[in-house]
Each structure stands twice: as structure tokens, then as C-alpha cells.
Structure 1
Amino acid sequence: MKNSNKISALLITYNEVNHIVDIIKNISFADEIIIVDSFSTDGTFEKLLEFKNVTTIQREFKNFADQRNFALKQATHDWVLFIDADERITDKLKTEIIKKTNSPTDIVAFMVKRLYFFKKKRIRFSGFQTDTTYRLFKNGSVTYIKDKIVHEMPEINGKSSMLKNPMLHFCFNSAVHYKEKMEHYASLKALELYKKNKNANMIHFVIRPIYKFITNYIFRLGFLDGKEGFQICYLSAYGVYYRYKELKKLTASSKI
């Protein structure tokens, strides 16, 4: 299917050597591919230089919103497909994206459901069963809210809708990998809370992690995902604890 309205595919990367070749092949239907790399140290940047159809820019990482907004400014085509290196577009979703971008519409942003995989096992519960995210935009219709430096949120200037077909998300290849991600996100979230003059107390260290675990493992049926479900729910709760641990450190350092 020929695309008459052109698509800019955007990625922000850091140490994604295990995903980078597959994702570039996966989005090869886009008319341009632009990657903003945060000075990867695992060979990602060197691998990117092998692709003549990819524009790679190295830029210091401040936070997710800042990096995504910079990437958006590099796009030159009618539509923007913003994707992460560990996500994959299925054939059905690709066909739907091309159809949507070539049809008259007043929709400026499309959300997509993500199907999660942990160690290549499909995770059907554990809090992930309702996950959706914005991935397709009309160029110039979206900016990421600057104050949301982690779990960044786009500000949509117009109408939005949901795509019918899901994308695949190979988010975690091991418990260690998931823990590292949780700590990275938690540190950024702690900084976000610190800038809002929030403080940590015992409720944050005890009640909130327990509530997170019970919600995802019991009420959101994480136990049905087997041992992987337990690991995910436990580490999600750990991420909440780590967030407030880092917030406490930031607060203490500011008083020195």
C-alpha cells in the first residue's frame, strides 16, 4: 500500500543494541527515520551508523519530555510515528497506520494498545491489560508536557482516537532489566516530585508499595501471569518504594 502522506518515524534511544536493528527494519515503511541517541555506550550508536536511511543525532538526556520534544522538532513530514526501541508494529497495525494517514480526518492523534511481553512471555494481567499510549500524530499537533519528566504525557491540540490493532511491547527481558528500568523511572519521578516540593513519609515507604503490589497482583489479576506476574508486581511495588527513597535523598541534600 503506497503512502501519499509521508510519515516521520522518531525514536529516542539509550543502550538499545539488542533492539535497534529489529526496530529499524520494523518501521522501514516510514519515509524518514530519525533517532535521538543519549550517547549510548553499548554499541547502539555505532550500529545506527550502518543504516544509510536513518538520521542519528546524539544529544544529552535531561528527561523524557525534553528529549521527545527535541525529536518532534526534527520531523519534516505530515505525520509522526513516535515509537520506542522495544516496541514493534504488527502487519495489521502497519496497514491501519498507512490507511489512517491517507484518509481525510480531523483526528490529529491516535492511541494504540500495547501487548506486553516479559522474557518473551505474553503478560495478560499484572496491571498491563489496559495499557494504551499515543504513538501517531499529525506533525505540529503535539508537544510533551515539560513538567511530566517521566511517564511523559503529550498535550494534544485537537481530536484524538484509538487505533484498532495493538502493538507489541518487549519491555523486559529479565527481572534485573525490569529492576533497572524501575529505578531509572523512579529516580526521574522523585526529581519531578522534589521540584513540586513534595516530601516522603512512612506512608510512602510502606503503605504505597504494599497497595501497589496488592492492586496489581490481586485485583488486576497478576497471579494469573504465573511467576512472571509475581516478579512484575513485586518490582512495580519496589519502584514505588525506590521513588520515595530517592525523594528523601534529594530533600536531605537540599538541607545541607
Structure 2
Amino acid sequence: MSHRKRLSVVLITRNEAELLPDCLASVSWADEIVVLDAGSVDETRHIAAQAGARVFQSTDWPGFGIQRQRAQAYASGDYILMLDADERVTPPLRQAIQDVLQHPDPNAVYSCARRNLFLGRFMRHSGWYPDRVVRLYARERYRYNALPVHESLATGDADVVALTGDLQHLTFRDLPAFQRKQLHYAEAWARERHRQGRKCGLFAIISHTSGAFFKTWLLRAGFLDGKQGWLLAVVNAQYTFNKYATLWALSHTVRGNDQ
């Protein structure tokens, strides 16, 4: 009979005082909570400490992948559940995680279905559900890659097992704040591609932008999500435009400086 494995919930934070309490409450049953904070100027660290988390600080920002791996290094549990402050573990997902800890498979990693909030509605289509992400895994076997954005867990040939239950994701609560966040991601994406020598032309900007809208609205059945589905299609198109337009601008800025 296998012994129950210990679980470490790991978060990276920066100025998450508004969202963090509910996130931590949803995983208060974990054996350990580790928070690595990147220079918050609000009550984030205090809130985490009051909730019983082990709180650490970093003085620089190396990108999401490296930061997650740094945070994982502070954990001591057999298994890691990697979360963001705007996520909440629902009771059915908690039960599924606890079942894994009772009957672990070290050759497997586990994915959670995220229910993403968009302008007051948890989306069921538009490519936003089930939006599975690998978040539960054996600490000593798996690591995050070093990408600055859109980081992922290096799972190798591990089996990916889908957990029951949902991970609520309060990703889109404020339109301007979300757009600022998307613009940051788009710039980081473009700068990384520019560093790799990638370029794009006007046609690529137009085709990728229009393609992002129609993929969300039609292929991913965004029209079934009502007004929010149409708005999300526009937001996705805008994000895609920002990515490729920034990449185009970076290439032409360098060319202009060389003249």
C-alpha cells in the first residue's frame, strides 16, 4: 500500500493583494504553500504569511519560466501544484488531487481544466474551455523551461492524465488591465522572436490578426458564448496584431538605426 504523498502549492506573485486571499483559501488543505514574491509594494507578502505560507522574495525578474522554477526550488513536498493568484481550486478538483496523492504515478503529470472568467461570464467555448494546463507533478522529476512568457513544464515522455474538476481562472475582470497585460505579453513575445532573428511583413500581420478573430469566433464556437464570445474574438485579434506589429516595428527600428 502506497503512502500519501505531500503536496506543495507554489505561487509566484507581484502585487496580488486583491486576489491572493481567495486563492490561498482554496488550497489551505495543502501540506505546504510556497510564495515567491517579485517586489510587491502592496500587502501580498503579509497576506501570504498570515495564511501560513512560506514567503520568499526575489530582487530581479528573469521571466515566468525561470521564476516558477526558482519558486519550486523552495518547496519540500513530493508533488507540486503550481498556481497563479487569480486561480482557485474547486472542491471536485481538490478531491481529484487528493486521490492522486494517495495513489501516485511518478511517470504521469496531471492537467487541470480551467474555467476562464471573461467580463462576468465563465466561458464554455471560444477556445477558453476546457483550457487544460499541466499543474500537478512530482517535484523531483519535472522542471519548467526558461521562456519569459508562455512557459511550460518540460514533461518529456510522461503520461498526461486529465483530472476531474475545474480550476477557476479569474483572468479577465477589468478590460483596461487585461489589455495592458496582453500588451506586455505581446511585447515580450515579439522581443524574443526578434532576438531569434525572426521577421514578419505586412501580410503576416493582416493574416494572423484576421485568422485569430475567425478562429475564436467560428472554429472555436465563440458565437455560442454570446456577446462575450464576440468581444473575446476581438481581443484575441488585437493581441495577435500587437505581437506581429511589434515584431515588424522592432525589425524596422533596427534597420532605421543602421542607416
TM-score (norm 1): 0.91
CA deviation after TM superposition for structure 1 residue 49, in Å: 4.0
C-alpha separation in 2, matches of 1:189 and 1:143? 21
Contact map agreement 1:126 1:222 (CA 8 A) in 2: yes
C-alpha separation in 2, matches of 1:104 and 1:124? 30
Q: Which residue number corresponds to residue 10 of structure 1?
A: 10
CA deviation after TM superposition for structure 1 residue 175, in Å: 1.9
Given the superposition, is the C-alpha separation of residues 47 and 105 from structure 1 closer, same or farther in structure 2, using an over 3 Å criterion? closer
Instruction: Please state if 1:190 is matched with 2:190.
Output: yes
Instruction: Please state if 1:27 is matched with 2:27.
Output: yes
CA deviation after TM superposition for structure 1 residue 41, in Å: 3.3
The two structures, once aligned, show a CA RMSD in angstroms of: 1.9
C-alpha separation in 1, matches of 2:128 and 2:84? 17
Q: Which residue number corresponds to residue 155 of structure 2?
A: 156
Given the superposition, is the C-alpha separation of residues 99 and 168 from structure 1 closer, same or farther in structure 2, using an over 3 Å criterion? same
Kindly provide the CA deviation profile for residues 189-228 of structure 1, in whole angstroms up to 9, marking residues without a partner as x.
1122112210121123211111100110122121222222
Given the superposition, is the C-alpha separation of residues 238 and 83 from structure 1 closer, same or farther in structure 2, using an over 3 Å criterion? same
C-alpha separation in 2, matches of 1:104 and 1:144? 21
Given the superposition, is the C-alpha separation of residues 178 and 232 from structure 1 closer, same or farther in structure 2, using an over 3 Å criterion? farther
C-alpha separation in 1, matches of 2:41 and 2:233? 30
C-alpha separation in 1, matches of 2:130 and 2:20? 27
Q: Which residue number corresponds to residue 48 of structure 1?
A: 48
Q: Structure 2: give runs of 5+ residues left out of the alignment.
A: none
Given the superposition, is the C-alpha separation of residues 163 and 119 from structure 1 closer, same or farther in structure 2, using an over 3 Å criterion? same
Kindly provide the CA deviation profile for residues 64-83 of structure 1, in whole angstroms up to 9, marking residues without a partner as x.
11111111211111110101
* SS of corresponding position for 1:16: coil
Identity of aligned residues (%): 27
When structure 1 is superposed on structure 2, of 19-28 and 199-208 the one drifting more is 199-208
CA deviation after TM superposition for structure 1 residue 40, in Å: 2.2
CA deviation after TM superposition for structure 1 residue 85, in Å: 1.0
C-alpha separation in 2, matches of 1:137 and 1:198? 34
C-alpha separation in 1, matches of 2:54 and 2:242? 36
Given the superposition, is the C-alpha separation of residues 170 and 102 from structure 1 closer, same or farther in structure 2, using an over 3 Å criterion? same
Kindly provide the CA deviation profile for residues 50-77 of structure 1, in whole angstroms up to 9, marking residues without a partner as x.
33x1112222222111111111211111
* SS of corresponding position for 2:77: coil
Contact map agreement 1:120 1:170 (CA 8 A) in 2: no
User: Within 5 Å, which residues of 2 pair with 1:218-233?
Assistant: 218-233=218-233
User: Within 5 Å, which residues of 2 pair with 1:137-156?
Assistant: 137-146=137-146, 148-156=147-155
Kindly provide the CA deviation profile for residues 147-186 of structure 1, in whole angstroms up to 9, marking residues without a partner as x.
x321112111533311122221111102223212211211
Kindly provide the CA deviation profile for residues 121-152 of structure 1, in whole angstroms up to 9, marking residues without a partner as x.
11111221341100101111211222x32111
Contact map agreement 2:11 2:83 (CA 8 A) in 1: yes
CA deviation after TM superposition for structure 1 residue 111, in Å: 0.8
C-alpha separation in 2, matches of 1:104 and 1:48? 28
Instruction: Please state if 1:120 is matched with 2:127.
Output: no
C-alpha separation in 1, matches of 2:43 and 2:252? 37
* Residue identity opposite 2:179 in structure 1: K
Contact map agreement 1:182 1:236 (CA 8 A) in 2: no
Q: Which residue number corresponds to residue 133 of structure 2?
A: 133
Given the superposition, is the C-alpha separation of residues 253 and 42 from structure 1 closer, same or farther in structure 2, using an over 3 Å criterion? farther
Q: Which residue number corresponds to residue 74 of structure 1?
A: 74
Q: Which residue number corresponds to residue 110 of structure 1?
A: 110
Q: Which residue number corresponds to residue 100 of structure 1?
A: 100
TM-score (norm 2): 0.90
